[in-house]
Amino acid sequence: MRDYQSQCRVLTEEDIDALEIGSGILGTGGGGNPYIGKLRARQAIREGHELKILPIEALEDDARIVALGGIGAPLVSFERLKEGREGVRCLRALEERLGFKADAIGCEEIGGQNSMEPLITAAFAGLPVVDGDGMGRAFPEMQMTTYAIYGHNSTPSVMCDPHGNAVCFEHAITEKWHETMARACVIAQGGASVLASAPMSGAFFKAHAIPHSYTQAIGLGQAVLDARQAHEDPIKAICEREGGKHVFSGKINDLKRHFERGFNVGVASIEGLDDCRGSVGEITIQNEFLIFRRDGEMQACVPDLVVVLDLDSGLPITTEVLRYGQRVAVLALPCHELLRTQQALDVIGPAAFGFPELVYRPLAETA
């Protein structure tokens, strides 16, 4: 095991408070409820565990990074809490299968509770988490990481549930097959498990991970907290920091949301308020907020971030706690450039989500 300790930043409870908000914003409604993640992370800190971030630049090329995260539907993980050691069981079983130990833990998706899962598992295992992730946001399926998009073969992987069951996906012929089999299995396991993927090299991770995600998410959350403390507009603070736009304000007046194929899917309709009065907003959901339309016209879509915030507090709202009558702000934030290549769009563009008629226009270029 490498000694990365001296180069790590140890997170405080205040950092975790900020990460809850930042990962909630970047989660675009998904990635698991960040509040529950925060409570788990805080408990780990109070039990004496160190939650540590390692700068991505510190990684040696031949380091071995095991990325992990929760898999399932946000709705399930919100209602049924994790047993808590699923990630550690995954890591240990995978290490045993591989015959070597991981040097550091990676994050599959920075969005939502999945920002916390690697920190907690790594802390239990005495390892750091690399400051980066595979999405720069949250996406509903496993093949949607930059790791997979840029060529990492994520099997063998190990998935563990709260009951004590463990499954190793020995070999999947494609990343999509890995997703298909793991999705079926996680539904059988009750809908909320943890999965640790085949290790990546430090060189691969530095080239293909979204860098500095933890720093970004903590900074973003801190900006919201600072704005609230200073009685300034947190929504403005987010847009300025992320180069995004506040595209809609309104009240949720219709919500179709159901559990299908292991996902939360649905549509939220928003009646315009303030300067959006007379307009209707609509958000398409698959675990995350995928597409925002105003009066039928697409304003933002994957891979850019469609974010829903409480209109007054500026705090993020996840898909499973969305409800009729909420007054919300819809933001569109540009995604990282690694998500905008043609190679990436084939996997995470609107067509990959079943909307081939939509043409993705990068927000970063139109802002």
The residue ranges that bind a copy of itself (CB under 8 A) are 93, 97, 158, 163-173, 177, 180-181, 183-185, 187-189
| Distance (Å) of CA 291 to CA 179, 297, 310, 360 | 22, 10, 18, 10
Q: Which residues contact 295 (CB under 8 A, 6 or more apart)?
A: 279, 280
Identify which of residues 181 and 280 has a Cβ nearer to a copy of itself in the complex: 181
Element at 281 (helix H, strand E)? strand 280-286
Tell me the closest approach of the beta carbon of residue 262 to a copy of itself, in angstroms: 10
Give the residue among 24, 18, 20 at the shortest CA–CA distance from 40.
20
Identify which of residues 165 and 269 has a Cβ nearer to a copy of itself in the complex: 165
CA 29 – CA 112 distance, rounded (Å): 8
Tell me the closest approach of the beta carbon of residue 75 to a copy of itself, in angstroms: 19
Q: Which residues contact 358 (CB under 8 A, 6 or more apart)?
A: 291, 298, 301, 350, 351
Q: From the centroid of its chain, how far is CA 143?
A: 13
Tell me the closest approach of the beta carbon of residue 161 to a copy of itself, in angstroms: 9
Tell me the closest approach of the beta carbon of residue 156 to a copy of itself, in angstroms: 8
Alpha-helical regions (H) of 277-362: 342-348
Identify which of residues 166 and 267 has a Cβ nearer to a copy of itself in the complex: 166
Tell me the closest approach of the beta carbon of residue 31 to a copy of itself, in angstroms: 23
Identify which of residues 187 and 273 has a Cβ nearer to a copy of itself in the complex: 187
Give the residue among 113, 111, 81, 132 at the shortest CA–CA distance from 303.
111
Query: Does 303 sit behind a cis peptide bond, omega within 30 degrees of 0 on the bond before it?
Result: yes
| Distance (Å) of CA 304 to CA 228, 332, 334, 364 | 26, 7, 5, 9
Identify which of residues 20 and 179 has a Cβ nearer to a copy of itself in the complex: 179
CA 265 – CA 258 distance, rounded (Å): 6
Identify which of residues 165 and 253 has a Cβ nearer to a copy of itself in the complex: 165
Tell me the closest approach of the beta carbon of residue 163 to a copy of itself, in angstroms: 5
Identify which of residues 88 and 345 has a Cβ nearer to a copy of itself in the complex: 88
CA 204 – CA 137 distance, rounded (Å): 20
Element at 290 (helix H, strand E)? strand 288-294
**Position 213: which residue type?**
S
Identify which of residues 181 and 255 has a Cβ nearer to a copy of itself in the complex: 181
Tell me the closest approach of the beta carbon of residue 186 to a copy of itself, in angstroms: 9
Tell me the closest approach of the beta carbon of residue 22 to a copy of itself, in angstroms: 34
Contact status, residue 192 vs residue 70, Cβ threshold 8 Å: yes
